[in-house]
Amino acid sequence: MTNNWVDIKNANLILVQGGNPAEAHPVGFRWAIEAKKNGAKIIVVDPRFNRTASVADLHAPIRSGTDIAFFLGVIRYLLETNQIQHEYVKHYTNASFLIDEGFKFEDGLFVGFDEEKRSYDKSKWNYQFDENGFAKRDMTLQDPRCVINILKDHVSRYTPEMVERITGVKQKTFLHICEEIGKTSAPNKTMTHLYALGLTEHTIGTQNIRSIAMIQLLLGNMGMPGGGINALRGHSNVQGTTDMGLLPTSLPGYMRLPNDKDTSYEQYINAITPKDIVPNQVNYYRNTSKFFVSLMKTFYGDKATKENGWGFDFLPKSDRLYDPITHVKLMNDGKLNGWILQGFNVLNSLPNKNKTVAGMSKLKFLVIMDPLQTESSEFWKNFGESNNVNSAEIQTEVFRLPTTCFAEEDGSIANSGRWAQWHWKGCDQPGEALPDAEILSMIREEMHHLYQEDLKKGVQPKGLESFEAMTWDYAQPHSPSSEELAKELNGYALADIYDPNGNLIYKKGQLLNGFAHLRDDGTTSAGNWIYVGQWTEKGNQMANRDNSDPSGLGCTLGWGFAWPANRRVLYSRASLDINGNPWDKHRQLIKWNGKNWNWLDVADYGTQPPGSDTAPFIMSAEGVGRLFAVDKITSGPMPEHYEPIESPIDANPLHPKVSSDPTIRIYKEDREFIGSNKDFPYVATTYRLTEHFHSWTAQSALNIIAQPQQFVEIGEKLAAEKGIQKGDMVKITSRRGYIKAVAVVTKRLKDLEIDGRTVHHVGLPIHWNMKALNGKGNRGFSTNTLTPSWGESVTQTPEYKTFLVNIEKAEA
């Protein structure tokens, strides 16, 4: 979230498009209800009339996977009707920047497409630069190469007629929503946008989010209390997971892991540190070397020296893309033979379950660290129809290492609003369960032992040097405490540290207060730069429980610790005009105090006084929000509507020859698993129920009483066509496999008119699996038997939310 949960109460309009918070985030959703009490409207755009829709002012059913067409239609409307916040757009976005003359978009492709590699050469997706290397701008916005004019041209195709044809949202409803959104272009009105998987888990996920972020920039809603782009995160600590870089090619604090092409510390740091594109701006990532060197000091202590590039060679270098879908591919190819699953129940969560099982069956060993006996740990067992494997043929050795869960240990959890909150152990763990950190430490000790054995035999083990360089100075090396780990992440002064005026700010060994004090000369450590300040010499800031709110805007600086720097609303400098006056005096959290912008919130805009050079988006190299993204995004600098790979219509109405995003990550062997709309005419989507948490609760009697068995939601018209009554057992088939479920015939799913044909949605909750408590007979199928493995090119996220199925009545 750019903002936070409580801040939702400050919004005038809440657009929920791509999530169902009343169901999946029922506690946080109270803030949307608070907003409603304050007069806000709630609009839900979702294929289903879901529980959030039931308390909304308006629900618009949309075809799953088509939100970009909707959002670009909104942008067209805002530009046509001139409902944008002009001053904000001019100064705080890249609307005025001039784009390279070579950039173009034609017949569904951006310039630079390489057919063979299925990827783009992005060199023309860039600004025009002056002789000093700064981007050229036209503040009058007249030049046809201005971003705003290129954008206008790009979205001109997304007329209300086209939006309806692609998305199924009726023009009248669409225009009504546009009007409501347009109202928030007034400086004293804000819209907040809430989303989760309905936008992200698509082959166009990143561009979905880009589209709505662009809308929020045009409306001047970014940086404003009651505004922003608010990702409602999943597991209670998944925010913490990404912050900590728990992706195979990431490091803590959103730095990328070096890869094969990175040859030295200097070269790598240069490659990941952005150059200024506009003069006199913050470009905070210019400090990347300080974050990285401090991290290396945490990893390797005295072994990380200036001479050895801070231990650069100790780090693993990725040789290719890695993500769980790729892991499964490599297993199937016989190129990966061991897997450690720590808190990951792949059999329920990864797409194309049959492919996952086939891959796991080829493993030599599988280690499962989990408090539960998961389906993944029993992938080799025959459960009848729902897991029809030949156990005798599977040779994989499976080790189950039972862990504690959060309630059995002290620690911190980061919520969607970036707040790290400390929690205390509630009870001891049962049986042989041990904390994750203890199990990992034991594995480390055993590895150390095995390395020593090798050395004794005269073998020089690979990787020994990096292994031995690792700092492991916990009081009990086999069991680091949560407190020790939290302080290590925060970071220490490794020498006496002085400010530029020569005043001592830290004595050697003290905990750091903030990342502004990090150094790249080896005198500071920090296991994660964004968390510096969470545990200082004043104590554990995550344990703070003062909920006073002097602003009245829900800005409680004394409650927990919000990264970065305890800041509650990001990019808040954009809530004031260039002279420092608030766009809305009732929504003001920061102001110039002669030294910096701190006031009721911790500002992010450094020490630059009010003035014309204001560039509030300090984490982008331009200092402004991007309506045109010049780097990184592999699928295009602007969003474009592409059809899902499995689409209920035959071609993209905008450019039939390039129907789907040409950069989609799809492995060759998965192409045979693409189903056609002739064989599989219905659009399926998958989702959650409040009564369950993934498949954990399917093993718990109380939850199973509340929602006993797998069901499938289908609309009344489709049910009538198929002769299906509510309560009938139905077989749902995709090109990947089939499941069986009880039919719920409902008014909540309506058929939509898409490109001249009637399209039906089929809704599938994700909570049951072969080990479900009442999992006899047909009741314990995994929905992911049906889903495809292809994913988007930026994040590799699989397409869980739009694929094609057929349904038919089945034997109970």
Ligand X SMILES: Nc1nc2c(c(=O)[nH]1)N[C@H]1C(S)=C(S)[C@@H](COP(=O)(O)OP(=O)(O)OC[C@H]3O[C@@H](n4cnc5c(=O)[nH]c(N)nc54)[C@H](O)[C@@H]3O)O[C@H]1N2
Residue 293, amino acid: V
What, of ligand X, Mo ion, none, does residue 688 touch, CB below 5 to 8 Å by kind?
Answer: ligand X
CA atoms within 13 A on the CB side of 28: 24
Of 117-125, 266-274, 718-726, 782-790, which segment contacts ligand X by CB under 6 A? 782-790
Cβ atoms of 674 and 645 within 8 Å: the answer is yes
Beta carbon nearer to ligand X, 19 or 311: 19
Distance from C-alpha of 558 to C-alpha of 566, rounded to nearest angstrom: 9
Distance from C-alpha of 169 to C-alpha of 337, rounded to nearest angstrom: 48
Distance from C-alpha of 40 to C-alpha of 14, rounded to nearest angstrom: 7
Which of 1, 11, 14, 24 forms a contact with ligand X (CB under 6 A)? Answer: 24
CA atoms within 13 A on the CB side of 538: 9
Per-residue exposure over 333-356, b if at least 16 CB sit within 10 Å of its own CB, e if not? eeebeebebebbbbbbbbbbbbbb
Which of 150, 215, 277, 369 forms a contact with ligand X (CB under 6 A)? Answer: 369
Of 607-615, 647-655, 672-680, 690-698, which segment contacts ligand X by CB under 6 A? 690-698
Beta carbon nearer to ligand X, 290 or 736: 736
Shortest Å, Cβ 9 to ligand X: 19
Beta carbon nearer to ligand X, 10 or 703: 703
Which of 159, 342, 536, 540 forms a contact with ligand X (CB under 6 A)? Answer: 342
Distances 197 to 68, 159, 203, 343, 792 between C-alpha atoms, Å = 14, 26, 12, 20, 13
374 counts as binding ligand X under rule CB under 6 A: yes
What, of ligand X, Mo ion, none, does residue 436 touch, CB below 5 to 8 Å by kind?
Answer: ligand X
**Residues at the contact surface with Mo ion, assessed by CB under 5 A:** 234
784 counts as binding ligand X under rule CB under 6 A: yes
Shortest Å, Cβ 547 to ligand X: 24
Cα-based angle 417, 2, 487 (whole degrees, multiple of 5): 50
Which of 182, 205, 258, 371 forms a contact with ligand X (CB under 6 A)? Answer: 371
Token pair for 744: 């719920």
Shortest Å, Cβ 104 to ligand X: 29
Distances 241 to 141, 322, 484, 612 between C-alpha atoms, Å = 42, 17, 18, 39
Beta carbon nearer to ligand X, 525 or 784: 784
Distance from C-alpha of 29 to C-alpha of 20, rounded to nearest angstrom: 9
Shortest Å, Cβ 492 to ligand X: 27
Cα-based angle 778, 782, 783 (whole degrees, multiple of 5): 110
Which of 12, 28, 35, 65 forms a contact with ligand X (CB under 6 A)? Answer: 65
Site string for ligand X, 646-665 (x = CB under 6 A): --------------------
Token pair for 134: 């700064």
18 counts as binding ligand X under rule CB under 6 A: yes
User: For tokens 């805007």, what's the residue?
Assistant: 553
Which of 311, 329, 541 minimizes the C-alpha distance to 419? 541
Distance from C-alpha of 570 to C-alpha of 1, rounded to nearest angstrom: 9
What, of Mo ion, ligand X, none, does residue 554 touch, CB below 5 to 8 Å by kind?
Answer: none
423 counts as binding ligand X under rule CB under 6 A: no
Shortest Å, Cβ 721 to ligand X: 22
Beta carbon nearer to Mo ion, 51 or 567: 51
Which of 47, 228, 253, 417 forms a contact with ligand X (CB under 6 A)? Answer: 47
Which of 768, 732, 726 minimizes the C-alpha distance to 748? 726
Which of 800, 804, 805, 806 forms a contact with ligand X (CB under 6 A)? Answer: 800
Beta carbon nearer to ligand X, 324 or 533: 324
Site string for ligand X, 225-244 (x = CB under 6 A): ---------xx---------
Cβ atoms of 684 and 735 within 8 Å: the answer is no
Shortest Å, Cβ 557 to ligand X: 27
Distance from C-alpha of 40 to C-alpha of 33, rounded to nearest angstrom: 9
Which of 312, 329, 327 minimizes the C-alpha distance to 251? 312
Of 579-587, 590-598, 612-620, 781-789, which segment contacts ligand X by CB under 6 A? 781-789
CA atoms within 13 A on the CB side of 335: 7
What is the number of other CB atoms lying within 10 angstroms of the CB of residue 774?
A: 15
Cβ atoms of 592 and 580 within 8 Å: the answer is yes
Beta carbon nearer to ligand X, 90 or 748: 748
Distance from C-alpha of 242 to C-alpha of 253, rounded to nearest angstrom: 8
Shortest Å, Cβ 376 to ligand X: 8
Shortest Å, Cβ 454 to ligand X: 29
Which of 49, 285, 344, 667 forms a contact with ligand X (CB under 6 A)? Answer: 344
Beta carbon nearer to Mo ion, 182 or 245: 245
Which of 372, 621, 712, 752 forms a contact with ligand X (CB under 6 A)? Answer: 372
CA atoms within 13 A on the CB side of 665: 19
787 counts as binding ligand X under rule CB under 6 A: yes
Helix, strand, coil shares, percent, the chain, to 5: 30, 15, 55
Distance from C-alpha of 147 to C-alpha of 153, rounded to nearest angstrom: 10
Beta carbon nearer to ligand X, 35 or 766: 766
Which of 164, 262, 370, 622 forms a contact with ligand X (CB under 6 A)? Answer: 370
Distance from C-alpha of 740 to C-alpha of 770, rounded to nearest angstrom: 12
Site string for ligand X, 384-403 (x = CB under 6 A): -------------------x
Beta carbon nearer to Mo ion, 10 or 695: 695
Which of 686, 709, 733, 793 forms a contact with ligand X (CB under 6 A)? Answer: 686
Shortest Å, Cβ 781 to ligand X: 12
766 counts as binding ligand X under rule CB under 6 A: yes
Shortest Å, Cβ 700 to ligand X: 11
Shortest Å, Cβ 53 to Mo ion: 21
Which of 63, 60, 85, 265 minimizes the C-alpha distance to 189? 85
Distance from C-alpha of 599 to C-alpha of 7, rounded to nearest angstrom: 17
Quick one: angle between helices 288-300 and 265-272, nearest 10? Answer: 140
Token pair for 472: 């492991």
248 counts as binding ligand X under rule CB under 6 A: no
Which of 3, 12, 17, 703 forms a contact with ligand X (CB under 6 A)? Answer: 17
Which of 257, 405, 619, 810 forms a contact with ligand X (CB under 6 A)? Answer: 405
Shortest Å, Cβ 15 to ligand X: 10
Which of 787, 672, 778, 687 minimizes the C-alpha distance to 733? 787
- Residue nearest to Mo ion as judged by C-beta position: 234
Distance from C-alpha of 152 to C-alpha of 145, rounded to nearest angstrom: 11
197 counts as binding ligand X under rule CB under 6 A: yes
Which of 105, 451, 599, 696 forms a contact with ligand X (CB under 6 A)? Answer: 696
Token pair for 455: 């050395």
Cα-based angle 314, 319, 322 (whole degrees, multiple of 5): 105
Residues in contact with ligand X, counted by CB under 6 A, come to a total of: 54
**Contact footprint for ligand X (CB under 6 A):** 17-21, 24-25, 45-48, 50, 62, 64-65, 67, 196-198, 201, 234-235, 342-346, 348-349, 369-372, 374, 403, 405-406, 436, 685-688, 690, 692-696, 766, 783-784, 787, 800-801
